Structure 1
Amino acid sequence: MKRGNNRFVAGVPEHPHQDVEHRARTHYSQSPSTALLGCSDSRLAAEIIFDKGLGDLFVVRNAGHIVSDSVVGSLEYAVEMLKISLIVVLAHDECGAVAAAVSSQQKNPSLLPPKIAGQIRPIVPAVQAVWLRDNPSTPYVDPQKIDTFDVGRFHLRGCVAELLRESELISEAVAEGRLGIVGANYRLVEGRADASVAIGPINTDT
């Protein structure tokens, strides 16, 4: 993953496993080594960022990379059935879901459609943690005075912790040394994904 991202950053991607022959070989089965939970943001296409191809990544995406029942079920499938050895949770800067969560905590927030409000609700604890850390006596968030990238980092660590908390299967795989989890932050301009948190065995050849 790191080598592929380095190629992407340098502008020399190899575009592996995207030829006709490989497409045919993956017709009946898949054997990815890595699952990735990322944001639905259109600038966060995992196979491009990490210079991967067909069958290399098992990707789960939603706005704000929120841990939900469907996300946990999908990642458990990747761990149990596909025998992946790594889960990457990928956050990024300039995240619209994070910005919406920040705006929802200001004094007179605009009302959001119910489903959108529900989607961003899990990010609110990270907003509050960052805001109250620096502004303990001010209950309402000023969107102009909060570091949204810092909010994203708090949310990322919360997502990794929630995966372990919500899935006995995933936490057991980590404890048994069969699975590692990496939380990474992606910078849109640089194109680089940097690990922020790592749990369990991490295979540097993955």
Structure 2
Amino acid sequence: MSNSEWTPESVWQSIIRGNRRFVEGKSAHPRQNEGRRQELTHGQKPKAVVLACSDSRVPVEIIFDQGLGDIFVIRTAGEITDLSVLASLEFAVDGLGVKLVVVLGHESCGAVAAAKSALDGGDLPGGFQRVLIEKVTPSLLAARKDGQHTTDEFERRHVQEIVNHIVDRSPEISSRLDAGEVGVVGLRYRLSDGLAETVVTQGVSENPLP
């Protein structure tokens, strides 16, 4: 399927189907041959952009069973955003024409755990690592305000807050979302079984596959 034929919903289905193959141990490893490599020397047309945590246990293309050039990946610890991340997301949507924006958190996230530790006992890391705490803490405070207190709830809420932040801060993504040209989803990857569970969706169905 060419990039022009993809829709937000069909990309969403492709991502979830790939994750199901990965969970079931049936990964197809698509579009990873020499022909695909040669094709990509002329440019890229990924179908999705994924803002993921930098955790080494969450390799984006592998867990979604996607090929070379299929996903534009941005990785930061705790999938936190700054101006360069927002600019990269807008480039993917505007410059590359992706149809789906994905925020990918995960089970046992160190950034969320560090923020929780700072809230509970005032333990703050030194140097620039403190930025991680500053960026993640608002999500945990919002979760606690709503009566959410478990680590799993914190991780899901952080994904949701990052999704909301991206849509609120990026007029480019927001306008395309309103026009039905882009979908935005938040997922939490479970290290224990490999499943990417849905946290929040905007512009696409909540359950794309039966």
Q: What residue identity is the alignment partner of 1:148?
A: T
Q: Name the one with the larger helix percent.
A: 2
Deviations 1:103-133, CA, capped at 9 Å, x for gaps:
11123x3331231111231211222233454
Matches within 5 A, 1:100-119: 100-107=114-121, 109-119=122-132
How well do the aligned residues superpose, as a CA RMSD in angstroms?
Answer: 1.8
Q: Give the corresponding residue for 2:8.
A: none
Q: Give the corresponding residue for 1:148.
A: 151
Unpaired stretches in structure 2, ≥5 consecutive residues: 1-14
Unpaired stretches in structure 1, ≥5 consecutive residues: 136-145
Shift of 1:45: 0.5
Shift of 1:99: 0.4
Aligned residues: 194
CA distance in 2, matches of 1:167, 1:132: 26
Q: What residue identity is the alignment partner of 1:32?
A: P
Report whether the alignment pairs 1:39 with 2:42: no
Q: Give the corresponding residue for 1:191.
A: 194
Which structure would you say has the larger Rg? 1
> Secondary structure of the residue that 1:17 maps to in structure 2?
coil
Q: Give the corresponding residue for 1:138.
A: none
CA distance in 1, matches of 2:57, 2:81: 20
TM-score (norm 1): 0.89
CA contact (8 A) 2:118 2:133 kept: no
Say which of 96, 101, 125 aligns to 2:138.
125
CA distance in 2, matches of 1:162, 1:131: 18
Shift of 1:134: 4.3
Following TM superposition, where does structure 1 have runs of at least 4 consecutive aligned residues deviating by more than 4 angstroms?
132-135
CA contact (8 A) 1:64 1:120 kept: no
CA distance in 2, matches of 1:100, 1:201: 32
Report whether the alignment pairs 1:11 with 2:11: no
> What is the aligned-residue identity percentage?
40
> Secondary structure of the residue that 1:185 maps to in structure 2?
strand
TM-score (norm 2): 0.87
CA distance in 2, matches of 1:9, 1:126: 29
